[in-house]
Amino acid sequence: MEDQWRKYFLGLDDNFFEIETANIMPEKVFEASGHISNFVDPVAKCKKCGTFHRADHIMEEFLHESFEGKTAQEMMHIIKKHNIKCPKCKGELGEVSVLNMMFPVQLGVDKETVGYLRPETAQGAYINFLRHFNIMRMKLPLGLAIVGKAFRNEISPRQLLLRQREFTQAELQIFFDPRKLDEHGKWKEIAKYKLLVLADKKITKISCDEAVKKLKLPKFYLYYLAKTQQFFLNVLKIPEGKFRLRRLSDEEKAFYNKVHFDIEIELDEIGFKECGGIHYRTDHDLSGHQKISGQSQEVFYDEKRFLAHVLELSMGIDRIFYALLELNYAEDKDRIMLKLPTPLAPFTVAVFPLVNKDKLPQEATKIYNMLKENFDVVYDEGGSIGKRYYRQDEIGTPFCITIDHQTLKDKTVTLRHRNSTKQSRVKISKLAEEISKLSL
C-alpha cells in the first residue's frame, strides 16, 4: 500500500520527491510550529475508577457527532447535559482539562535540553525545504513526501489500528507560489470530475468547475483534492458509497488552515472515520520557522522574492490499512477471503505442484522462478490443493497456478481466480501476459 502511495503521488509532478528526516527534533522546531502551545487534547478523569479518557472521543461515541474545536468548558457542559458516563465503569466524569500530546525526550546529558518525538512527519519537510529547493534547481511547485512514524501521547488508545501512540503517516508537502493559487497546468484533466462532498448531511456529487464557483475553492487546491479522491477510488478501490470528503468549519480546522477537507471512509459499527486530510496551510509553517530560527525562508522565483505557501496531503496509513481489511473481507460458504485489488495483495500469484512427486515440484519451481521476474509470487506444496487455495484466499492472493500431470504433456497449467474460483488452462508461455491482463 505504501508503494502504491509513492507511485501515485510522486507521479503527479516531476518535481515531487521522497525524503527521510529525523524522528527526534529540538524543542525550538515545535515552538516554531506551534505544537508546544497548541498541540493539546481534552482529557477527563473518571471519579470512580480513575481512568483518563479523551473527552471529545467519549462524546462522539455517545452522541454520534463530531466535537472538534470545542473548548474544555463547552465539552464539560455537553457531558453534564447529556449525563455522559465513563465507558469503563459508568462512573461520573470529572472536569475536562488539556494535555499536550507530544512525547518529550532528553537530549544528551543535560537534563534541561529537551526534544520531542515528532507528532507528525510534516515538520521535517518544512525545516529542510530551503535546502531541497536549492538542490532541485529552484523550481516550484516542489513536493517533499515523507512516509514514516509519528508519535502522539494518545490518552486512551483503542479500536485496534484506529487510535495508537505510534503510527505511520504518508504526507506530501507541496510548496508553491501563492500568486498561482487559482491555477494549475493540468486543470482540464479534472475540471469535469465530480467530487464526493458531504453537504447537508448527505454525500453530494459536485464537479471541480462547480466547486470553484459554489464552494469558492482555488483551482490549485481542487486539483489535488480530485487526485486524492481518485487515489482512494481508483487505486485502493474504496466503494463510492463508503467514501466522502468533509469540509471542516472554522471552529473545527486549525487556525492556520485556510481550507481543510477531511478524507473519510465508512467503517462497520463506527461510521465515517477520518483517514487523512488536504490542508491549505498558507505560509504559516515557513514563517514560524523563519521567526524562531532567524534564518530567512524566502525564495526568489519568477522575478519575485516571497515565502512559499504549502498544500499538505496527509494520510494515516494504519487507518487506511484497517479500512482495506474490513472492506475487502468476505465469506463464501466455507471459505474466507480478502478481495484486495491486485496491486495491494501481498502476493499476485501462488504456484502449487498438484502432488510432491512425478517431477511436478521441479516443473512448478521453474514456473515460480519465471514469474518472480515480474510478479510477487509465493510457492506452496504443503497440504491438499483445496487447503492451499483457501490459504491464499484468506490472505488475498488473486491468482493460483497448479502444475499437474497434464502440464508435463502439453505445457499448460490451471489458472484459478480468487473471487470466482473459476479455473482455465493457460499455456506456460502465455502465463505472464494473461496475469498482467487480468491484473488491470
The model's pLDDT over 13-43, given as tens digits with 9 standing for 90+, comes to: 999 999 999 999 999 999 999 898 778 888 8
Residue 412 has pLDDT above 80, yes or no: yes
CATH of region 40-100: 3.30.40.230
**How confident is residue 241, by pLDDT bands cut at 50, 70 and 90?**
very high
What is the model's pLDDT at position 302? 95
Residue 386, helix vs strand vs coil: helix
Kindly state which CATH superfamily the domain 2-39+101-326 is placed in: Bira Bifunctional Protein; Domain 2 (3.30.930.10)
Instruction: Kindly give, in sequence order, each residue whose CB lies less than 8 Å from that of residue 210, ignoring residues fewer than 6 positions away.
Output: none
> Of 234, 218, 238, 119, which Cα lies nearest the Cα of 174?
218
**How confident is residue 228, by pLDDT bands cut at 50, 70 and 90?**
very high
Fill in the amino acid letter for 238.
I
Q: What is the residue whose three cell numbers read 465503569?
A: 89
194 φ, ψ to 5°? -95, 130
Domain boundaries, the chain: 2-39+101-326, 40-100, 333-439
User: Which tens digits make up the pLDDT trace of 343-371?
Assistant: 999 999 999 999 999 999 999 999 999 99
Strand locations in 193-308 (E): 194-199, 202-207, 243-247, 259-267, 271-282, 299-301, 304-306
- CA dist 330 and 29 (Å) reads 46
Residue 69 has pLDDT above 80, yes or no: no
User: Which tens digits make up the pLDDT trace of 155-197?
Assistant: 878 888 898 999 999 999 999 999 999 999 999 999 999 999 9
**pTM beyond 0.85:** yes
What is the model's pLDDT at position 57? 84
CATH of region 333-439: 3.40.50.800
**How confident is residue 275, by pLDDT bands cut at 50, 70 and 90?**
very high
Q: Are strands 142-151 and 16-18 parallel, antiparallel or unpaired?
A: parallel
- Using CA atoms, how far residue 184 sits from 178, 191, 197, in Å, is 12, 11, 21
Number of C-beta neighbours around residue 349 at 10 A: 27
User: Which tens digits make up the pLDDT trace of 305-336?
Assistant: 999 999 999 999 999 999 999 999 999 989 99
113 or 226, greater pLDDT:
226
